Amino acid sequence: MIVGEEPVVLVELNVLEQRYRAVLEVLEGASVVEVACRNG
């Protein structure tokens, strides 16, 4: 890792976590369209 640059691994984990949370919302009853609109 180079100081001052954002590590790629952290970016990928962040995207993965966002997707995971979106899936959990759908599994809890939210509509796919609703979750997609909220998360862009």
Amino acid, single-letter form, for residue 1: M
The reported pLDDT for the residue numbered 4 is 66
The reported pLDDT for the residue numbered 23 is 95
Interval 1-40: pLDDT, tens: 556 676 667 677 788 898 999 999 999 999 999 999 988 8
Q: What tokens were used for 24?
A: 């959990």
DSSP assigned state of 5: S
Contact indicator for 23, 33 with CB cutoff of 8 Å: no
Q: What's the pTM value of the predicted model, to 2 decimals?
A: 0.65
Report domain extents, the chain.
8-39
